[in-house]
Amino acid sequence: MKKIGLLSGILATSLLFAACSDDGAEGAGEIEEGKPYVAVVSKGFQHQFWQAVKKGAEEAAEEFDVSITFEGPESESQVDKQIEMLQAALDKKPDAIGFAALDSKAASPLLSEADGKDIPIIAFDSGVDSEIPLATASTDNRAAAALAADKMAEAIGEEGKIALIVHDQTSVTGTDRRDGFKEQIESKYPNIEIVDIQYGAGDHLKSTDAAKAVMQAHPDLKGIFGSNEGSAIGVVNAVNELNKKGKITIIGFDSGKQQLDAIKDGVMTGAVTQNPVGIGYETVKAAVEALDGKELDKVIDTGFYWYDKNNIDDEEIQAAVYQ
């Protein structure tokens, strides 16, 4: 495995590549000569969540004196674009890679290529369904979604029809949040029925359409869970557009400004927030430790919190939200 002190000609070669936008791709950062280079490939770039992850990665890069690039596709449905970015990152011959997979199976060949080149990989956020990453810095998404399910049950009196708007069914976050919520409802709340699960690709417009369709198909619906920032905002938009405020309980995930505003306005009951800055920080920190030859914990739990109008201004919550 490469060590931080072994900088060879790889870094000089890396300087020939610009870490910037490419064919609609979003990216930021520069590869600096004389420093180990960690390429961070995210699931997205446009949401406030990913900007907060980027901030944490940059904080770690400064603290540990490494160079990073951070990039992700414009939409979390662009699996092909993310694979192109991962290939481009490999072509830059990084010392380590941070990777949040949109589709673990699609990424497998490139992960194997990196492993064959002795490039340590740190998974983050959604993780990677593979044994190749040395560690995964992420929220315990099943436990977090189970908490969201408990809060939904509490809000609707433990009975009635609900639905889920999930960001995807190919990433680990998508499946874990869906299944964690679904299994908690089915195991603990026999009088709650999940009538539909729709997928909006984490896009607020697609999620709005999906939520409106569910509400129109089930006029007696009592609640909807949105599994990430884009999904939750889509549900908020749908409720507002159909004048269902106060009639539909919305439980969200993540904590961008629009969700915070929706909670303060009483449209959304509450949400689970991750620690996105911590996710970015721990990803780069783990990459540095891998380059130093240190043993890593397989899972780096970055934590989660429930917030609603009662605790939204608490110091602990304010430190975790991203607006």
Axis-axis angle for helices 276-291, 48-64 (nearest 10)? 40
Query: 10-139+275-303, what's its fold?
Result: Rossmann fold (3.40.50)
Q: Mutual orientation of helices 141-155 and 172-188 as an angle, nearest 10°?
A: 40
Print burial letters for 78-104: b (CB count within 10 Å at least 16), e (below 16).
Answer: bbebbbebbebbbebbbbbbbbbbbbb
**Predicted local confidence at residue 48, as pLDDT:** 84
Q: How confident is the model at residue 128, as a pLDDT?
A: 83
Write the Ramachandran bin of 80: left for phi over 0, alpha for psi from -120 to 50, otherwise beta: alpha
What is the sign of the dihedral through the CA atoms of 181, 183, 188 and 192? positive
Residue 112's pLDDT is 96
Domain coordinates of the chain in residue numbers? Answer: 10-139+275-303, 141-273
Half-sphere exposure at residue 102, Cβ-oriented, CA atoms within 13 angstroms? 23
Query: Which pLDDT belongs to residue 2?
Result: 43
| Residues with Cβ within 8 Å of residue 19, at least 6 apart in sequence | 27, 28, 29, 30, 31, 69, 71
E strands, the chain, where?
Answer: 26-29, 37-41, 67-72, 96-99, 121-124, 135-138, 160-166, 192-199, 221-226, 249-253, 270-273, 299-301, 305-308
> pLDDT tens-digit profile of 180-217?
999 999 999 999 999 999 999 999 999 999 999 999 99
pLDDT recorded at residue 28: 53
What is the pLDDT at residue 319? 83
pLDDT of residue 33: 77
Report the CATH number of the 141-273 domain: 3.40.50.2300
Tell me, what's the pLDDT at 228? 96
Low-confidence ranges of the chain (pLDDT < 70): 1-29
